[in-house]
C-alpha cells in the first residue's frame, strides 16, 4: 500500500528518510531494513500527529462484526 502524505518533516525525519533511501539500505538484510522502517514509523506516530490524523482519515473504516465466530 502506498500512502502519500503532505506534512512538514522535521530534521530527524529528513535524516531517517535519507538513511532509508541510501544505497547501503539496498544491501542490508530484511530484518535491519524492517527495524529501520519501524523506527521511522514510530517517530511519525509519536511526533507528528498530523500524519496520524491523515492516515486515519484516508484508511477505510473497518466494520466490527457483531457476531463472534462461535455463534455461526
Q: pLDDT tier at 7 (50, 70, 90 boundaries)?
A: confident
pLDDT at 58 over 80: no
- Closest C-alpha among 17, 72, 69 to residue 41: 17
The C-alpha cell of 49 is what? 500527529
Q: What is the pLDDT of residues 21-49, one digit of tens each?
A: 999 998 999 999 999 999 998 998 899 88
pLDDT value for 57: 79
Q: How many CA atoms lie within 13 A of 34 on its CB side?
A: 3
Give the global pTM.
0.67
How many other CB atoms are found less than 10 A from the CB of residue 72? 5
User: Which are the contacts of 12, defined by CB distance < 8 A and separation ≥ 6?
Assistant: 43, 47
Per-residue confidence band for 69, with pLDDT thresholds at 50, 70 and 90: low
Amino acid at each position: 500500500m502506498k500512502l502519500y502524505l503532505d506534512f512538514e518533516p522535521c530534521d530527524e525525519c529528513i535524516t531517517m528518510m535519507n538513511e532509508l533511501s541510501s544505497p547501503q539500505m539496498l544491501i542490508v538484510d530484511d530484518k535491519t531494513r524492517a527495524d529501520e522502517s519501524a523506527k521511522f514509523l514510530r517517530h511519525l506516530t509519536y511526533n507528528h500527529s498530523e500524519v496520524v490524523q491523515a492516515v486515519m482519515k484516508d484508511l477505510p473504516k473497518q466494520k466490527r462484526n457483531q457476531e463472534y465466530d462461535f455463534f455461526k
